[in-house]
A and B are shown apart, each in its own frame.
Chain A
Amino acid sequence: MRGILPKSFVGLILLFLAFPIVVVFAVSFSSANYLTFPPPALSLKWYRVYFSAENWLAPTWLSIWVAACTVVLSTFLGTLAALGLAKLPRPLKVLVSGLILSPLIVPVIVVSIGVYYAFSKYGLVGKPIALVLAHTSLAVPFVVTSVTATLAGIDPRLEQAALSLGATPRGTFFQVTLPLIQPGVIVGALFAFITSFDELIVALFLSGQGAVTLPRRMWEDLRYAIDPTIAAVSTLTIVFTAILLGTAHYLRKRAEQNRTASP
């Protein structure tokens, strides 16, 4: 490794990855009214602006609400589908997983204007439910991949043992399978939450005037006036996301340990 790969080059790239986020943090604690770095003095005034402005708080609550509904819908449908996919014979499985995973590949703008085109016929534009329905399609692939990965690590003999000892299929599911896949379900749910919470392009078309989410509100603000309130909002969302990811990572680690610890 020495000689081929100068450590300083890797260090610079890591700096490139991390630095913009550090800058957003720093700007959010600035006392200046315009974007400067380094900040002339530290202050919490942009956080005060954010927490006292209804036109920031309302979109925040809407985003949390939409993301929560998306989590419920996508986790339920996605977990069932992941359990089903494992039982399907090969050609059918490829076809179904192709449909389910396709939102990872199809450009979001195509999905967005597709749902906008269809939903506007039914007067759904500007209603939070439209965002939930569209975000669920985008979030489902993360739930399915996460649950499928957990499912693949489970010893099938555990289910067979439960069944042969007289457990009903229903009892086996609730007392054996579900507890085993639970970490995967929770990680998938967290990813679904972040997917919806950060989503902007669908919201640009479906929000209308009545369902302005936080990313949509930030986008409008960036178009007209750039003030450090955005940096404060960004910092809060980054910290929030980091907490969710930390939780996901912890759960995954714990599940792995449980699996390797059992004989």
Chain B
Amino acid sequence: MSSSASLRTTTGILLVAPLVIYMVVLYALPVASMLLRSLNDPTWSIDRYKELMSDTVFFNTLSNTLYTAVIVTLGSLVLGYPVALALVRSKRLAPLILVVVLLPFWTSVLVRSYAWMVLLGRHGLINEALMSSGLIDRPLRILNTPLAVYIGMIHILLPYMILPIANALRQIDPSLARAASGLGSPPWKTFLQVTLPLSVPGVAAGGLLVFVLSLGFYITPAMLGGPRDITLSMLIANQVDQLNWAYAACLSTVLLATALIIIVVCRRLPGIGSAFKMSAR
């Protein structure tokens, strides 16, 4: 028995080996050697990280990145929860909702950011509509502001919020809500006291996913944001363009560490791990 188990393990190792070797050589080592530039350029020291502590550009960018991630996460939650609820409860509309949620999900980030440029621009649809209806007489400045970045990012990340919440809602035993209303609880109370608490793992998983993914955003803020709306990813790209590798490596380490720490801490919370697993598309 134990020899067949070890044969099974050996077969498994042989099967995963090509991909593991590939990813170590062409992905993990390149990233690791780049990150090391933050420590060994020109000699081994942690001075780069000490300098970061008094670096106002870094702190402004980091706080802007984190602030944007918080706004986008909250916005996605407010807009995503009702859609998840409708997706699970409305049998008739569910296929339509799923298509509307999934088609943008797989449309490229570049195309969707471009669409928002068309909509939010000075002569874009929103301004034209508001002007022709007489609500405003001069075009609003929306494109190249933080608001445009929030709108574009929420649009892109909303499916990552909707799908885990819908998964959590689907697992709630429907007889619980029926029992509550059968015992005389009004619908809003049933929702607040039964459905909402039971869907918390889905909310947490979706929130975690949206938050971590928004930390790395580059294309959308670059296209929709103004000159001051710099994210960590943009600053990193900018430093690489200037061949400032040590600084870029330092910033990359901070970005990666922030994302990993948030995931490791949050996945220990009860319920999130399983909800998180299901949400991987």
Contacts and interface: CB of A to CB of B under 8 A. Distances in A.
B71 interface: no
Given A106-B256, A107-B233, A242 B103 contact: yes
Contacts of A137: 22-23, 26-27
Contacts of A20: 104, 112, 115-116, 118-119, 155
Contacts of B103: 18, 21, 238, 242, 245
Contacts of A17: 100-101, 104, 155, 158
Given A107-B255, A117-B245, A200 B27 contact: no
B118 A218 contact: no
Contact of B12 (A1, A85, A104): A85
A101 interface: yes
A36 B128 contact: yes
A185 interface: no
Interface in A1-40: 1-5, 7, 9-10, 13-14, 16-21, 23-24, 27, 34-37
Contact of A24 (B8, B9, B115): B115
A81 B191 contact: no
A173 to B, nearest CB: 11
Contacts of A222: 114, 117, 223
Interface stretch (B45-53, B55-63, B197-205, B212-220): B212-220
Contact of B23 (A14, A16, A85, A140): A140
A17 to B, nearest CB: 5
Interface in A130-167: 133-134, 136-137, 140-142, 144-145
B192 to A, nearest CB: 9
Given A10-B86, A85-B12, A107-B255, A117 B123 contact: no
A99 B26 CA distance: 12
Instruction: Determine chain B's interface SS by DSSP, over half rule.
Output: helix
Which secondary structure dominates where chain A touches chain B? helix
B187 A13 contact: no
Contacts of A107: 215-216, 233, 252, 255-256, 259
Interface in B50-89: 79-80, 82-83, 85-86, 89
Contacts of A200: 108-110, 219
Contacts of A105: 212, 259-260, 263
Given A3-B187, A107-B259, A113-B240, A99 B28 contact: yes
B15 A81 contact: yes
Contacts of A14: 83, 97, 100
Nearest to B108: A198
A29 to B, nearest CB: 13
A62 to B, nearest CB: 16
Interface residues of B, number: 83
A140 B158 CA distance: 24
Contacts of B110: 198, 200, 215, 218-219
A204 B212 CA distance: 22
A171 interface: no
Interface string B244-260: 01001000100110011
Give the residue among A110, A136, A231 with the most B Cβ atoms within 10 A. A110
Nearest to A103: B27
B228 to A, nearest CB: 18
Nearest to A1: B89
B121 interface: yes
B103 to A, nearest CB: 6
A80 B102 contact: no
Contact of B11 (A21, A87, A89): A87
A121 B32 CA distance: 15
A4 B191 contact: yes
B39 interface: no
B260 A113 contact: no
Interface of A: 1-5, 7, 9-10, 13-14, 16-21, 23-24, 27, 34-37, 77-78, 80-81, 83-89, 92, 96, 99-101, 103-111, 113-119, 133-134, 136-137, 140-142, 144-145, 194, 198, 200-201, 204-205, 215, 218-219, 222, 226, 230-231, 234, 237-238, 241-242, 245
In the complex, the 5 A-B pairs of residues with the closest C-beta atoms, listed nearest first? A84-B15, A107-B216, A87-B12, A114-B31, A20-B115
26 contacts: A1-B89, A5-B85, A5-B86, A10-B83, A16-B79, A20-B115, A21-B103, A81-B16, A87-B9, A87-B15, A106-B259, A108-B218, A109-B233, A110-B252, A113-B237, A114-B32, A114-B35, A117-B30, A117-B34, A118-B34, A141-B280, A144-B19, A200-B108, A219-B110, A219-B219, A222-B223
